[in-house]
A and B are shown apart, each in its own frame.
Chain A
């Protein structure tokens, strides 16, 4: 095996050299070191929902179109984005037709055809395939290969936003020849293909060690003969966010490090070392506190935190929810934990710009007096120890989140602010692997929500919020019947809201969709399904010698790795 790898590497190097001689640029900038502290475990994003895996694979396999740093769709494997105007999208919105660029090749030198695209859809939509990205193929009826280069996606209903399949790093095209035997239940067994997919991206895998390191080299058949500038890439995993930041900005061992949720003063101090710089961009990530609308009391047994357990003893009171929100000084939370990389927000949908509501700013300024007044009015009176109570129910909150120093600092601040309005909180933090692990047997996952309030960040991919806003449907609450897999974590339920979600699925004009999204966002904030805290930027670090990085919150951060170069 080793011999074979050496042989292949040799051949590839020979090809790369020949190519290098013909076109002066490719591979001229040597080696690139990238650090993803959550190590990549598989290079097939269809089999893993993890951001790290999706981003790692984006160096190798690509979708038909990507999102650029502004959230606009840009062609990747096609020449133009199909729209209704250019005839690519049918008038009735029930189909979209993509035309693959001419002469496009896989890294093994075979042509990319419509059959590959069709196969990709079949692969993800196959029964028992466990495809993690199947949501992108919602309502897809069939995918046809019209000719060698033309592929048509048919939807069962009119799709106002037909760019779910084959757009963005989560929906790349895989090669039919390589994955043909890996459809359905056999998908996870094709280790070689999953660890080293043949792609159209700027790099090809030469060595893959799961959860550790990936070695790549320039794709000899990349569509732009002058790119990529780097001949080889190492994508390393391991460590934590702070050490990753240090590796780029202080010691300079790495050129790029991803996802650095570290206190701002620590990052600023590292940046002062001068070897690297922080780059950030704002996507749709919002750090929020979810309020449990159902009763999480252990007395309820298996019904805990489900609709069957009944409404929450005090969070079901709208006055309490509103008071909890205006008691928060979001500016202070941003200052202490996020610095430049966060903005106070009252929106659960803070971006893209056109979808962001400007109507709910009542929670942006802290108003302890008003909060106290609201609680007094609602009959919650301070007891002997200063904690408010009514009919024997104390405003005592169990406040859970994942383990991360920024989150624990935020917890301490919030606890202090709530203390001022006579609300007591008990802090709990759960290891991130457990908290986000989704294990239905663990009582500590965020889906179970065995707490009164829960803090974490969520976002959505791409720029269309339809799927995201549908997360607050009554039916989507996690419960034992659906294996605790629902997305409606706060168990919010409103008929008005459900109707709006349905309406958005049937509305095509962009302006109306934007208005609907804003309306839904306002309902969620005003009703107090959760308390949005911080619109969080994605933070990464790059070496000062690395040029061409365009930080992207809408697609993979490595989306334009082909354009990265080394400064002299």
Chain B
């Protein structure tokens, strides 16, 4: 029954006006509507989506409501507790923690999402190619193995050493580093996606509807985009959500090693790292960024779970 998904009509034919059915038209089912209906059934997914959207809303619009500059120093008000002016207190240089979390969220989330998209694009392309074209399978999967076997840290060091100054000059320190980090995370995390997608493609491409499509002479590009991709969407979505989480955590690890953004450029990972020593004096310095990372990762994972269920036609039927 899977082929119904891909063969669902794209356009809803409007019923003729004046016909008796028109008064109470039977809703035409579309893939999006189906998926959305199913997704709403998934309680975790819905809560995750709400939390994630709230975080995004706060991060995007928060700075205009809470108008303190995240990098403004005020040593006299350092290590302050919760107050009206500083809802999450201040750090050891008097910077407002709430403002830093909001600013850090922008960076962390955009790094997470962009790096995820890059790795997804790479992973899916390589996975589909390897799964669909038998000739390419060997070389592409060995390439994947090669990347999996690469020691990540030395690779990062070399990439950053080679390109940091060039990018910094062309795009400025922050954009340059942003591109570098997104690139580095993207090209070092696509392998799992590629493997999973390849597996899914291998099983889908042997199914009857694909054979049918081929037998009527559908071009391969069309087979892939129209029949294969929609049916491997669920593993892709899942690795996408996991990818965001991994990217956020990898970015924190890079900041930890001094390879990431400049030290005054807040990201959640850096805020957490800087706060660890102050845990006893000012617990809020680790609680808030930690909570932000955990909530984002958790909510994104739940969304992924929900989408996976919603996209799986076997579950959706029930």
Contacts and interface: CB of A to CB of B under 8 A. Distances in A.
Interface in A410-427: 411-413, 415-416, 426-427
Contacts of A298: 165-166, 169
Contacts of B262: 426-429
Nearest to B95: A412
Interface residues of A, number: 29
Contact of A266 (B173, B258, B278): B278
B294 to A, nearest CB: 23
Interface string A392-421: 000000000001010011011101100000
Grouping DSSP codes into helix (H, G, I), strand (E, B) and loop, the A interface class, with mixed when no group exceeds half, is: helix
A109 interface: no
A337 B93 CA distance: 9
A263 interface: yes
Given A266-B281, A335-B75, A413 B93 contact: yes
Contacts of A549: none
Given A266-B278, A298-B165, A409 B258 contact: no
Contacts of B166: 298
B257 interface: yes
A327 to B, nearest CB: 14
Most buried by A among B73, B169, B257, B280: B73
Contacts of B169: 298
Contact of A263 (B92, B165, B257): B92
A269 B281 contact: yes
Contacts of B93: 336, 409, 412-413
Contacts of A416: 71, 73
Contacts of B257: 403, 431
Contacts, number: 65
A458 to B, nearest CB: 21
A387 interface: no
B264 interface: yes
Contacts of A442: 161
A7 to B, nearest CB: 44
Nearest to B74: A416
A265 B79 contact: yes
Nearest to A417: B73
A431 B78 contact: no
Contact of A413 (B75, B79, B173): B75
A405 B73 contact: no
A242 B276 CA distance: 10
Given A336-B92, A430-B258, A443-B161, A411 B277 contact: no
Contacts of A336: 75, 78, 92-93
Contacts of B277: 242, 262-263, 266, 405
Nearest to B279: A266
B274 interface: yes
In the complex, which of the residues B78, B93, B281 has the most CB atoms of chain A within 10 Å of its own CB atom?
Answer: B93
B220 to A, nearest CB: 46
Contacts of B263: 408, 411-412, 427-429
Nearest to B276: A242
B267 to A, nearest CB: 14
Nearest to A416: B73
20 contacts: A263-B278, A266-B281, A269-B280, A269-B281, A298-B169, A332-B75, A336-B78, A403-B257, A409-B93, A411-B264, A412-B73, A412-B93, A412-B95, A412-B263, A412-B264, A415-B264, A426-B262, A427-B265, A428-B262, A429-B258
